[in-house]
């Protein structure tokens, strides 16, 4: 199975009668995702309309109109960025509705009755009471306050973001990074070692046995709680091991959903958004006592 690692998202906007609409307000929209090709096409159409509206204007009028056009475009961008950042602060039922819309937009042929990709509001734990800014500095405070399970997964949008969160939570003393900078079989072996070796009567895989022969792991490995990964890497890991699905212990899944990349993608609106959805659904179906928290 192949996965997209690059993140990309377009912006969709409309321009009409710019000279007379300088004071117009931003039109609200629920369309958080569109295909890249459609976005580019519509953006070009909007630019063409703007150019046509400037044809019979004086130089001063054109300058004012272009300034208004640019201002409206920037306001639209800021509005959409804030809409994406606000999702983690919503109630579980609102988060469920938001993700349902995104899933339908990404899968237009998906029947309303086909529930394999849809979430329930009970899949989520509300984090509305967290009143600090949701950035790297507050990440540790957030997980300490909301994650009560013995082990937890953290999904981040990119390898760089995985590393940033890893450092913000104290590094190797309580976290492990699972991303494409390491070999897949090493990540699988580490996951199996950390999860299976601590459970009495659990048979270790050959990869874990071979790894333990080469270097004996310190006691501090038992303190590892956070498995920080990209959606792509975790999808590959769970294809190669059942370790995360074994046992009856609670498992929290924390999604770094407030962060926007330089192209204003959130982890949900990125190219790996549907990979994340499928991985989350796999955990919910194969592991008991799983809850999702949005940061």
Share of the chain above pLDDT 90, in %: 57
Position 46 scores a pLDDT of 53
Write down the mean pLDDT value for the chain.
81
Q: For residues 31 and 42, give the distance between their C-alpha atoms in angstroms, rounded to a whole number.
A: 14
Give me the helices (H) in the chain, please.
36-54, 59-86, 92-106, 136-146, 159-168, 184-196, 206-214, 231-240, 273-286
How confident is residue 230, by pLDDT bands cut at 50, 70 and 90? Answer: very high
How much is the pLDDT for 117?
A: 85
Greater confidence (233 vs 39) lies with 233
Global pTM value: 0.71
Structural Rg of the chain based on CA atoms: 23
Tell me the C-alpha to C-alpha distance, in Å, between residue 227 and each of 134, 141, 144: 19, 17, 15
- CATH fold, domain 81-198+220-294, is Rossmann fold (3.40.50)
* More reliable by pLDDT, 198 or 71: 71
42-51, 74-83, 90-99: which is most confident = 90-99
């Amino acid at each position: 199975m192949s996965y997209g690692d690059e993140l990309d998202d377009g912006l969709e906007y409309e321009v009409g009668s710019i000279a007379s609409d300088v004071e117009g307000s931003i039109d609200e929209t629920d369309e958080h995702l569109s295909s890249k090709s459609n976005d580019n096409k519509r953006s070009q159409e909007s630019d063409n309309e703007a150019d046509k509206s400037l044809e019979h204007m004086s130089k001063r009028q054109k300058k004012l109109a272009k300034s208004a056009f640019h201002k409206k475009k920037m306001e639209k961008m800021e509005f959409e960025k804030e809409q994406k950042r606000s999702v983690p602060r919503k109630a579980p039922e609102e988060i469920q509705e938001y993700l349902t819309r995104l899933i339908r937009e990404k899968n237009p042929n998906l029947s309303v009755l086909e529930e394999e990709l849809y979430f329930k509001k009970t899949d989520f734990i509300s984090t509305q009471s967290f009143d600090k800014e949701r950035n790297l500095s507050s990440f540790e405070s957030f997980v300490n306050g909301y994650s009560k399970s013995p082990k937890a997964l953290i999904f981040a949008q990119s390898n760089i973001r995985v590393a940033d969160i890893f450092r913000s939570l104290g590094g190797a003393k309580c976290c492990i990074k699972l991303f494409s900078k390491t070999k897949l079989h090493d990540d699988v072996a580490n996951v199996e070692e950390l999860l299976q070796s601590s459970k009495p009567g659990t048979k270790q895989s050959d990869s874990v046995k071979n790894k333990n022969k080469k270097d004996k792991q310190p006691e501090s490995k038992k303190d590892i709680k956070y498995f920080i990964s990209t959606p792509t890497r975790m999808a590959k890991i769970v294809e190669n091991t059942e370790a995360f699905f074994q046992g009856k212990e609670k498992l929290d899944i924390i999604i770094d959903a407030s962060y926007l990349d330089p192209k204003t993608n959130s982890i949900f609106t990125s190219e790996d958004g549907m990979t994340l959805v499928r991985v989350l659904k796999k955990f919910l179906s194969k592991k008991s006592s799983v809850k999702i928290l949005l940061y």
